[in-house]
Structure 1
Amino acid sequence: MYPNLYYAFKDLFGKAPSGLRFINSFGFFVALSFLAAAYILTIELKRKERAGLLTGQDVKMVVGKQASIGELLLNFFLGFLLGYKIIGLFISGNATGDPQQFIFSSEGNLPIGLTLGILFAGLKWWEKHKQKLDKPEERTIRIWPHDRVGDLVIYAALFGFLGAKIFHNLENWQDFKENPVEALLSFSGLTFYGGLICAAVAIWFYARKHKINFTLLCDAIAPALILAYSIGRIGCQVAGDGDWGILNSAYVTEPGPNSKVVLADSTRFQNTLQAHGNFYLRNFQVNNISEIPHASVKAPGWLPNWLFAYTYPHNVVNEGARIPGCTEDQYCNQLPVPVFPTPFYETVCAFLLFLLLWSLRKKLKAPGTLFGVYLMVNGIERFFVEQIRVNTKYSIFGFHPTQAEIIAVLLVLGGGTLYFVMKKKHEKTLAQKA
């Protein structure tokens, strides 16, 4: 596992700059997922614009004005924040410290912050000065939907993160009550569906404000969403963020620095559970080891064992037992009993679903139907993977679903309803025009 890029570079090249410890692997892949989603969304919006399905919005702007005090102050603040905190994080000389603690503290590099703040403000002044006219004038500029992809990504990232944190804390209410500040400010602990729901609401308001057809926007964004999910799950797998499956009782982890998994009978499996009973009882929030969910599945000879049983060595959440011989201050744990690597499964499934949606985007003519298909396949995929994932369960009328299972079922029902309603509506419109 590579909890941050320092571990990845060290493994690949034998050594790495200590500052790379602050670039979290999960965050790195999340950033890549947003970039990939923005690229795919831009392609789809341009295609719909060329087809005449989406139109631009005329916006009146005053050009030729010198930079205002507010613009200069905003750019100074952004530059100062980048230098004081982000760059200061790398050159603070505290590379083995906690980046989360550093970000939320008053520590930083004041000279670098002031320098970048002045530089950012100066660049804004120079940019506006080059465009300055003797007499500023009002012009009408057409802004197309694809021109707003940057704003859409920012809205999705901001509200998606907030929604993911909110839903995660609702799902883990006891942990939130015990330490609410850490639960809210921690960079770990994100629920995908919470992010999806809150981001969707925010984008709906944004699309309505800028007169972008929300139904067509949803169709355009569907392939981008599933691709982003696929790439984001790579981050979960690489970092080992705790979002893994139940125990595979066909194997145990052999003590040693190589995290090797070996076949085990039921006696050895139970003995391993007993030896690490405190960890498993706490992790699964059960009263007895016999209640710990597990399944026994042996890997076929033509596939590697880790596809069915993975130990997540050096995982970012420090779960499990200490790895013998590990000399690092943190990230020295691995799981005593390997688990099903569900993030890897979801990476593969989500990418295949992306290819499916990409192939259907021109074939489904009725607006909204592609997004309906996205909701259905997304819900089906998540429902089935939840059967071997570790998650908090609710008790509802004798049933014990997870939060993700409940939302997945609603997505399938909602997606199916949306598909048939929009298809029927489109057929009715075509019949009226005939």
Structure 2
Amino acid sequence: MYPELFSIGPITITSFGTMIVIAFLSCNYLLRKDFIKYGYNPEYADDIIFRAALGGILGAKLYFLIENYKYANENISGLGKILYGLLTLNFQLVSDGIQLFGAGLVFLGGLIGGLILVSHYIYKKSLNWFVVADLVAPLIALGHGIGRIGCLLVGDDYGIPTDLPWGIAFPNGAPPSTAFNIQQMGCPIPEGTSPTAVLAVHPTQIYEMILYFLIFLFLKNLLTKNHIHGEIFANYLFLAGLARFAVEFIRLNPRYYFDLSGAQYISIVMMILGMVFHYLLRKNKENEAI
């Protein structure tokens, strides 16, 4: 695994952070092209991506802390170090703070946070929410797929143990894929397995990456065809929810009622919203096709 790529003085460049930056820059480039194509000011794309990034990171962090409240003090301490380091120009303090605050981001929380800030901006600029949502939807899938590459490089968000030839062991993962850590997540381990044994697990990061890239290509293709405003976004909600729901069955996450994870409950809501949204759009002919 490559959690850290290199250092510039006191600043450490992480693989996950690098992939997040690549994701937002790629989405910004493609959204600017689409805005020009549909007659919008391309500078709006920059503002939308910035708000998506800000709302996404804050929402992802909040969701993570709700699920993992024991890390709250650590994250608050990290945020304090970042702010104080910026005020005093102490970049080592900023770097240390990023390491603390940057640990633990949950995409589904980021999706909600990003939607809130972007929707507020769309309303303020009097843009058509449905049109913008259709243009942004494929890029959410693209960004999510790129982000999963970062998870793979860090060794995070992996699945349950497997004997399949493409299983990957994460001896330096976050956390390492040891029998003890896997068992702590509620996954049964064969008797006699040493707690320190590093096990090969399903690379669910790769599974999700492939699924989200396919969703991106599918939705981009739909944009080239006649469709009702908002239909692309409705399809995104359903497909992204379905992809996450399926992968969660072999991913290590805490289980709740009916042996489902928190992400699966949110995925069910996403799928239902996608279907209802699609039905209402089809029923309401006021949204003209393009």
- Equivalent residues of 2:123, 2:129 under 8 A apart: yes
2:238 aligns to what? 376
After TM superposition, list the pairs within 5 Å mapping 1:32-431 onto structure 2: 32-49=22-39, 144=41, 146-173=42-69, 175-176=70-71, 181=76, 185-240=100-155, 242-248=156-162, 250=163, 298=164, 305=165, 307=166, 309-315=167-173, 317=174, 319-320=176-177, 336-395=198-257, 399-426=258-285
Q: CA deviation at 1:45?
A: 1.8
1:28 aligns with 2:11: no
Distance 2:197 2:143 in 1: 28
Letter in 1 for 2:67: E
Distance 1:403 1:338 in 2: 24
Q: CA deviation at 1:18?
A: 6.9
Q: CA deviation at 1:170?
A: 1.0
Given the superposition, is the C-alpha separation of residues 320 and 377 from structure 1 closer, same or farther in structure 2, using an over 3 Å criterion? closer
Given the superposition, is the C-alpha separation of residues 424 and 362 from structure 1 closer, same or farther in structure 2, using an over 3 Å criterion? farther
Q: CA deviation at 1:393?
A: 2.2
Given the superposition, is the C-alpha separation of residues 179 and 357 from structure 1 closer, same or farther in structure 2, using an over 3 Å criterion? same
Q: CA deviation at 1:152?
A: 1.3
Aligned-residue RMSD, C-alpha: 2.4
In our comparison, the structure showing a higher alpha carbon Rg is 1
Distance 2:197 2:206 in 1: 17
Given the superposition, is the C-alpha separation of residues 245 and 165 from structure 1 closer, same or farther in structure 2, using an over 3 Å criterion? same
Q: CA deviation at 1:219?
A: 0.3
Distance 2:116 2:59 in 1: 10
- Equivalent residues of 1:4, 1:21 under 8 A apart: no
Q: CA deviation at 1:40?
A: 1.8
Kindly provide the CA deviation profile for residues 367-413 of structure 1, in whole angstroms up to 9, marking residues without a partner as x: 00011011111000000000011112233xxx232121011111111
- Equivalent residues of 2:238, 2:271 under 8 A apart: yes
Q: CA deviation at 1:338?
A: 1.1
Given the superposition, is the C-alpha separation of residues 18 and 214 from structure 1 closer, same or farther in structure 2, using an over 3 Å criterion? closer
Ranges of 4+ aligned residues in structure 1 off by more than 4 Å: 17-21, 177-180, 182-185
Q: CA deviation at 1:28?
A: 0.2
TM-score normalised by L of structure 2: 0.80
Kindly provide the CA deviation profile for residues 76-103 of structure 1, in whole angstroms up to 9, marking residues without a partner as x: xxxxxxxxxxxxxxxxxxxxxxxxxxxx
Given the superposition, is the C-alpha separation of residues 19 and 388 from structure 1 closer, same or farther in structure 2, using an over 3 Å criterion? farther
Kindly provide the CA deviation profile for residues 14-50 of structure 1, in whole angstroms up to 9, marking residues without a partner as x: xxx775971000000000000111122122222222x
1:14 aligns to what? none
Higher helix fraction (1 or 2): 2
Q: CA deviation at 1:319?
A: 2.3
SS of aligned partner of 1:5: strand
Distance 1:370 1:335 in 2: 45
Kindly provide the CA deviation profile for residues 193-222 of structure 1, in whole angstroms up to 9, marking residues without a partner as x: 100001101111111111111111100101
Distance 2:287 2:251 in 1: 44
Q: CA deviation at 1:181?
A: 3.3
Given the superposition, is the C-alpha separation of residues 243 and 206 from structure 1 closer, same or farther in structure 2, using an over 3 Å criterion? same
Identity of aligned residues (%): 32
SS of aligned partner of 1:373: helix
SS of aligned partner of 1:22: strand
Q: CA deviation at 1:365?
A: 2.0
- Equivalent residues of 2:4, 2:15 under 8 A apart: yes
- Equivalent residues of 1:319, 1:335 under 8 A apart: no
Given the superposition, is the C-alpha separation of residues 383 and 209 from structure 1 closer, same or farther in structure 2, using an over 3 Å criterion? same
Q: Gaps spanning 5+ residues in structure 2: where? A: 80-99, 179-195
